[in-house]
């Protein structure tokens, strides 16, 4: 392949587009506002136009596109390339995104959900490089997941797999946004971490976070980790609660798909070793003593580019496998 690959990461706020050579080296990238309220047709046209402009700016014509990968929020029908619905793209109901972009650009399109696309990016060129079995977890407002088993993404029946934030770890525990009780997301997402801190402060727990709440009217996840790092006892308890849930999740994932490496991504990993070392600590507390487990727990390395790299890499993968 001499031609180039396009990776598109469709988000509720922005669309990121990257242009890569066949060794997945970035040639150029750009980002535009999604303007999701304009509806799918307008968004698709904007994506395609921006892609062509990006190529033109780099002296390339649209003819050099070998294949395009696009990652989108879900639930989606991945095989058919359809967004079924998406909380942050309210006008996208049963939208055949792959077909629409394919018709406009005239090139083969590979469709994937956004968490899987980012997982694939980390797997191919990021923190998962060199392993064949990996679990990927994004710690943001919610907890998203992706699973690589023997070098392939796990999709499951009806693309139901890897809803890893909704594994129940405390059956009678905190109510999750999904309606279940005790999901790992109800403890360890950025918003749940912030919520647990706010609840504790509001219940009268002594903490330096009280001033933050009084001043800003809210506590963010970053506040909690900052105050934990500064030594506040309550904040430490809260961040340990997050790491505890994630360490337990690592044990459970190890027992299910047997990953060699679990990669954490998302805004929360900015907390650094304060988070990573404690996840590893709780993993060791929970895991069986039967045998020495060699599971590696680490942070993602591609940051916000995981999606565009991942979608381009998926396009390359399917091209190499003769699927396009």
Between CA 86 and CA 77 the distance in angstroms is 12
Q: Determine, following the binding rule CB under 8 A, whether residue 254 of this chain makes contact with a second copy.
A: yes
Q: List the x/- string, 221-250, binding to a second copy by CB under 8 A.
A: ---------------------------x--
**Residue count at the site for a second copy (CB under 8 A)?**
48
Between CA 288 and CA 262 the distance in angstroms is 17
In 3D space, the residue among 260, 320, 306, 315 whose CA is nearest the CA of residue 121 turns out to be 306
Give me 265's structure tokens: 């991504």
For a second copy, the binding residue among 90, 106, 151, 156 (CB under 8 A) is 156
Nearer to a second copy, 69 or 259 (CB): 259
Question: Is the Cα dihedral 163, 165, 169, 171 positive or negative?
Answer: negative
Nearest approach, Cβ of residue 253 and a second copy (Å): 7
Nearest approach, Cβ of residue 73 and a second copy (Å): 15
**Residue 170 DSSP one-character state:** S
Q: Determine, following the binding rule CB under 8 A, whether residue 286 of this chain makes contact with a second copy.
A: yes
Between CA 83 and CA 87 the distance in angstroms is 11
Nearer to a second copy, 55 or 135 (CB): 135
Nearest approach, Cβ of residue 171 and a second copy (Å): 6
Q: Determine, following the binding rule CB under 8 A, whether residue 257 of this chain makes contact with a second copy.
A: yes
Q: Determine, following the binding rule CB under 8 A, whether residue 154 of this chain makes contact with a second copy.
A: yes
Between CA 141 and CA 27 the distance in angstroms is 31
Residue 289, C-beta contacts closer than 8 angstroms, at least 6 positions apart = none
Point out which span in 37-45, 201-209, 224-232, 251-259 binds a second copy (CB under 8 A): 251-259
Nearer to a second copy, 36 or 245 (CB): 245
Q: Determine, following the binding rule CB under 8 A, whether residue 204 of this chain makes contact with a second copy.
A: no
Q: Determine, following the binding rule CB under 8 A, whether residue 214 of this chain makes contact with a second copy.
A: no
H or E segment to which residue 99 belongs: helix 97-105
CA angle (308 as vertex; 61, 123 as ends), nearest 5: 130
Contact between 296 and 262 under an 8 Å Cβ cutoff? The reply is yes
Nearer to a second copy, 87 or 303 (CB): 87
The footprint of a second copy (CB under 8 A) covers 75, 131-133, 147, 149-150, 152, 154-164, 166-171, 176, 178-181, 248, 251-260, 286-291, 294
């Amino acid at each position: 392949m001499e031609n180039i690959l396009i990776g598109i990461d469709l988000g509720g706020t922005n669309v990121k587009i990257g242009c890569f050579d066949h060794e997945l080296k970035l040639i150029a990238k750009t980002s535009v506002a999604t303007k999701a309220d304009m509806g799918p047709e307008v968004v698709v046209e904007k994506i395609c136009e921006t892609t062509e402009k990006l190529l033109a700016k780099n002296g390339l014509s649209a003819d050099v596109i070998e294949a395009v990968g696009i990652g989108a929020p879900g639930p989606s029908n991945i095989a058919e390339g359809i967004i079924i619905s998406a909380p942050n793209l309210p006008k996208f109901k049963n939208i055949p995104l792959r077909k629409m972009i394919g018709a406009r650009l005239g090139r083969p399109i590979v469709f994937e959900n956004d968490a899987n696309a980012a997982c694939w990016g980390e797997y191919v060129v990021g923190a998962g490089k060199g392993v064949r079995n990996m679990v990927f977890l994004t710690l943001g407002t919610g907890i998203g997941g992706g699973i690589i088993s023997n070098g392939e993404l796990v999709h499951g029946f009806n693309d139901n797999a890897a809803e890893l934030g909704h594994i129940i770890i405390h059956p009678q525990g905190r109510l999750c946004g999904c309606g279940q009780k005790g999901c790992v997301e109800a403890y360890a997402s950025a918003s749940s971490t912030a919520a647990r801190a706010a609840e504790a402060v509001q219940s009268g727990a002594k903490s330096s976070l009280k001033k933050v709440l009084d001043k800003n009217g809210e506590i963010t996840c970053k506040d909690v980790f900052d105050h934990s790092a500064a030594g506040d006892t309550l904040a430490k308890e809260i961040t340990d609660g997050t790491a505890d849930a994630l360490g337990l999740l690592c044990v459970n994932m190890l027992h299910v798909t047997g990953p060699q490496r679990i990669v954490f991504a998302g805004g929360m990993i900015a907390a650094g070793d304060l988070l990573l070392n404690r996840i590893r600590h709780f993993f060791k507390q929970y895991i069986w003593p039967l045998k020495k487990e060699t599971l590696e727990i680490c942070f993602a390395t591609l940051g916000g580019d995981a999606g565009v790299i991942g979608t381009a890499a998926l396009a390359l993968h399917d091209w190499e496998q003769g699927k396009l």
